[in-house]
Structure 1
């Protein structure tokens, strides 16, 4: 994991020995405004000469004066000068400053929230996945924010940045090197290091436990499926939330084979499970007073003589039967097992995270996740996402869609063939059937579903603190939601 050393310093930035001093600028009607300590006022008249505009993702490098750092860099803030704007700008700058050893951030911050956002963006932007490259620029190794604020939670920023980096590393790892068994081993190792308890179901245990969805999806691969349960249970926690993650380590579509181009990038189909793992570890490291159970539903979806077939009927954990009509609608099958198992423990809330449908990308694009579920929990999840500037959009779960999931031989089918359907919503309606009841009433356990198919992986140009490859989306939202639920 590439996370820079992070620190705050009350000393003047002119005393820094960093390689680069980072300032910021924003556009104004009269030109461009520099946001910097008075000692760097000399930079302002140079910006116009260098055609800087202060636009987002713009980075202007200027040779420094005197005995200080060799370079001054000015990053554009665009029109956003709040905490989210600082997070984006600092991340953009650190991403573009790869190859630099150390950076001193001298952008003025108004309060601890802005300071933490700037540090977090810098840490997120200073990520690189270089394990499979012969040559690559090293990310920035040391980041110091110069501020006299004394309540900046640097440890919190470090824990969250590490969690996101872990998720990115897992998503970026080639599928040949990340089987379900290997991902389970890595999850248990991370859990052990954070003081979490863990349990792993292999094929025999899955069979004995009646986890028909995970078993069926993994049946086509020579590398068997796994279910991992993690638990963080601090003393005194009064709220219990279950997190369920889809972990398809590679998705070929199974016998309902994907087109060649659609198979590229399917190493990222385990991003939901990676996000759940990283979020629960971060919550433990931050000592958030909430009980969290994490369920990682892991399988590799490949075609073979043993693969699940269309028209096969599966028995999901808890007894519901599902007829498979499309083996490429596999994520909902493994999640069904996870949701049913999580429900059996009667948590106060369940949130699942999954790269579930191509329809999510059609509806909301590659930067915004779909959010569905029970209204109150959806609202809290959206508020958590907004607070950390992750884009989600609430979507409906129309009751009439359930009729599209009828089967001639089973309780449900896993999709509807032969007609155009709202695929993201239909998948959500399917998942809702596996969310159980509260322990003390007939009401369904509050549940929210995040479809991150688009924003989990960036195959386009870099932007802000987001480079190419895995994005680590949903980790920061889940951590913030856990903190919110713990606070009541």
Structure 2
């Protein structure tokens, strides 16, 4: 990760590549650089260049002004929009790309830079500079940017904001790494090993293997994982700080590869199924962040992990699965496997963990993408406070959510002929999937929230702080939400 520091050069002595924030002007007036950020002669030159290029100050827009044989040697005039956290996050992402060939960058921030804006700037820099590849980049293509100095006073509050941004960005990158890794490596056992290597002493772990899952009655996880040579796991993580008054359980779908099972997917739909454990990566990264940030909220994570493969031992359409706790599912599609493993974990959480709040996250349905597009996660809950809290946290984090209804008129479609429920009730697919999961929330259904994050878990290209590939969606939102609970 880029080394980001506070302090540094005064405007009159800035050297090398220097980023200058350009706020958007109100009412169509010309944009202007904050007075005092640059020496007068350099400021006049920059102002003339802004006028010539018709820079509007839109967040993330960058104009590069080379100044050969002079100092600073280059100005990056970057729009910060309204100057809020979102604008600075977008600006940070743009700078990570515009300065990728520079070894160092100085950002001339205004003296009144808020802690939130600093956090946004840092997150944008760290997340947009993320790279994942199984091969080393060529020397002439490798990023050079290693250090960024934000030229602003280093107060304790700003240092704390920067530290929080570092933790959340690092663990978002960790979630991206887990999700991007090819499934030939990413077995359920491998996933567990990677997470345990990051837990440290403050987060405790319990790992259930195939035999333990069978002994305790986790029939859904066993059914989905039964066709694979790589046996399933249930990873349980706990962060239990002294004095915590609320207990949150986060459940994340962890299908390390999804062929669709006997109801096999077409080739194109299977191509990116290494990402089908993105929610497990998110919830595991979130609890690690909660511990590192010392959040005074008790958090338990459940990550049901399985490969949904095709073999002579695969589960079949028409089978009846008995879940933890006794509810049964008639299998209408082996390609609706995520909700089946989540059902086991949710039922276990309700029966054994006594949470105050229960959230599940999953790359669950294509229907949510059809409804909301590629950037927005669907949320479902009967709890207004939960929906509002997640919505506020997502807005702060720069991630998008939208509430869809738990429409009771579709409850009848989730019923089965020879079992309690069926696992693939059909359209509207995101809603019927949520209604199926609600049955496993039991007495916690009024304190439960479901997030269908299938679409925003993966980016098809560069987009703000996102790069092509896994996004680590939800880590930032969940951490902000937990911070809100702790406030």
Q: TM-score range by the shorter chain?
A: over 0.9
- Aligned counterpart in structure 1 of residue 415 of structure 2, from 403, 406, 415: 406
CA deviation after TM superposition for structure 1 residue 98, in Å: 2.5
In the alignment, is the contact (CA less than 8 A) between 1:13 and 1:104 conserved in 2? no
Q: Shift of residue 215 of structure 1? A: 1.0
Closer, same or farther: CA 253–87 of 1 in aligned 2, 3 Å? same
Aligned partner of 1:485 in structure 2 is: 485
Partner residue, 1:451: 452
Q: Where in structure 2 are the equivalents of 1:361-380 lying within 5 Å?
A: 361-373=369-381, 374-380=383-389
Q: Residue 234 of structure 1 aligns to a residue in which SS?
A: coil
In structure 2, the partner of 1:470 is: 470
Q: Is the 8 A contact 1:126 1:139 kept in 2?
A: no
> So what's the TM-score if we normalise by structure 1?
0.92
Q: Which residue of 2 aligns with 1:294?
A: 301
User: Are 1:268 and 2:269 matched, yes or no?
Assistant: no
How do 1:219-298 residues align onto structure 2 when only pairs under 5 Å count?
A: 219-298=226-305
Q: Answer whether contact 1:59 1:76 (CA < 8 A) is retained.
A: yes
1:33 Cα deviation from its structure 2 partner: 3.3
Deviations 1:327-350 (A, max 9, x none): 111110111111112212111101
Query: Following TM superposition, by how much is the alpha carbon of 1:149 offset from its aligned partner in structure 2, in angstroms?
Result: 5.5
1:166 aligns with 2:145: no
Map of 1:43-54 to 2, 5 A cutoff? 43-50=46-53, 52-54=55-57
- Residue 349 of structure 2, aligned match among 342, 349, 372: 342
Please give the residue correspondences for 1:323-362 in structure 2 after superposition, counting only pairs within 5 Å.
323-344=330-351, 345-362=353-370
**Secondary structure of the corresponding residue to residue 238 of structure 2:** strand
Contact 2:107 2:148 in 1 (8 A): yes
CA contact (8 A) 1:173 1:267 kept: yes
User: In structure 2, what is the equivalent of residue 441 of structure 1?
Assistant: none
Q: Secondary structure at the match of 1:88?
A: helix
SS of alignment partner, residue 443 of structure 2? coil
- In structure 2, relative to structure 1, the CA distance for the partners of 1:238 and 1:33 (3 Å cut) is same
**Partner Cα distance (1:451, 1:139) in 2:** 37
Please point out which of 84, 88, 91 is paired with 2:90. Answer: 88
The equivalent residue for 2:402 is 393
User: What SS does the corresponding residue of 1:430 show, helix, strand or coil?
Assistant: helix
Partner Cα distance (1:363, 1:14) in 2: 52
Aligned to 1:24: 21
Gaps in structure 1 of 5+ consecutive residues: 439-443
- Measured after TM superposition, the shift of residue 284 of structure 1 is 0.3
- On the 8 A contact 2:339/2:364 being kept in 1, the answer is yes
Distance 1:265 1:48 in 2: 45
* Residues 128/97 of structure 1: CA separation in 2 closer, same or farther (3 Å cut): farther
Contact 2:24 2:82 in 1 (8 A): no
Question: Any unmatched runs of 5+ in structure 2?
Answer: none
8 Å Cα contact 2:6/2:149 also seen in 1: yes
Q: Which residue of 2 aligns with 1:128?
A: 131
Deviation at 1:76, TM superposition (A): 2.9
Contact 2:414 2:435 in 1 (8 A): no
Q: What residue number does 1:75 align with?
A: 78
Determine if the alignment matches structure 1 residue 4 to structure 2 residue 2: yes
Q: Compared with structure 1, are the counterparts of its residues 225 and 15 closer, same or farther at alpha carbon in structure 2 (3 Å cutoff)?
A: farther
Q: Is the 8 A contact 1:128 1:138 kept in 2?
A: no
Aligned ranges for residues 295-310 of structure 1 at < 5 Å? Answer: 295-310=302-317
Q: 1:348–1:445: 8 Å Cα contact kept in structure 2?
A: no
Taking structure 2 as the reference length, what is the TM-score of the superposition? 0.92
1:179 paired residue among 187, 195, 214:
187
Counterpart Cα distance in 2 of 1:149 and 1:114: 14
Question: 1:426 aligned to 2:432?
Answer: yes
Corresponding residue of 1:142:
147
